[in-house]
Structure 1
Amino acid sequence: MSDDVRDSLIPYDEIVQDALRAVVGRVLSQVEGTDSLPGEHHFYITFKTQAPGVDIPAHLVAKFPDEMTIVLQNRFWDLTVEEDHFSVGLSFNQTPSTLIIPYAAITAFVDPSVDFGLQFQVSDDGAAEPEPHDEADNDRPEVSTEDGSNVVTVDFGKKR
Structure 2
Amino acid sequence: MTDEAPDSLIPYDEIVQEALRAIPGRVLKDIERTGALPGNHHFYITFKTQAPGVSIPNFLIERFPDEMTIVLQHKFWDLKIGENHFEVSLTFNQVPAHLVIPYAALRFFVDPAVNFSLEFQVQDSGDEPDPHDEAENDEISAAEDGSNVVTVDFGKKK
Deviations 1:77-119 (A, max 9, x none): 0100000000000001111110000000000000000010100
Q: Kindly report which structure 2 residues correspond to 1:30-49, keeping only aligned pairs within 5 A, or say none.
A: 30-33=30-33, 36-49=36-49
Aligned partner of 2:127 in structure 1 is: 128
Aligned partner of 1:25 in structure 2 is: 25
Distance of 2:105 and 2:66 partners within structure 1: 11
Aligned partner of 1:144 in structure 2 is: 145
Distance of 1:45 and 1:65 partners within structure 2: 16
Deviation at 1:159, TM superposition (A): 6.4
Distance of 2:74 and 2:87 partners within structure 1: 16
Aligned partner of 2:88 in structure 1 is: 88
Distance of 1:79 and 1:124 partners within structure 2: 27
> TM-score with structure 2 length normalisation?
0.91
* Poorly superposed stretches of 4+, deviation over 3 Å: 1-4, 33-36, 139-142
Distance of 1:155 and 1:2 partners within structure 2: 19
Amino acid at match of 2:154: F
> TM-score with structure 1 length normalisation?
0.90
Distance of 1:140 and 1:64 partners within structure 2: 20
After superposition, the Cα gap between the structure-2 partners of 1:35 and 1:77, relative to the gap in structure 1 and judged at 3 Å, is farther
| C-alpha contact 1:35 1:78 (8 A) present in aligned 2 | no
Distance of 1:136 and 1:124 partners within structure 2: 22
Aligned length, in residue pairs: 156
Aligned partner of 1:9 in structure 2 is: 9
| C-alpha contact 2:89 2:98 (8 A) present in aligned 1 | yes
| Structure 2: tracts of 5 or more residues without a match | none
Distance of 1:38 and 1:102 partners within structure 2: 24
Identity %: 65
Distance of 2:34 and 2:86 partners within structure 1: 14
Deviations 1:9-30 (A, max 9, x none): 1110000000000011000001
| C-alpha contact 2:109 2:117 (8 A) present in aligned 1 | yes
Distance of 2:123 and 2:102 partners within structure 1: 15
| C-alpha contact 1:43 1:111 (8 A) present in aligned 2 | yes
Amino acid at match of 1:113: A
Q: Secondary structure at the match of 2:149?
A: strand
Amino acid at match of 2:100: I
Amino acid at match of 1:31: I
Task: Give the aligned CA root-mean-square deviation in angstroms.
Answer: 1.8
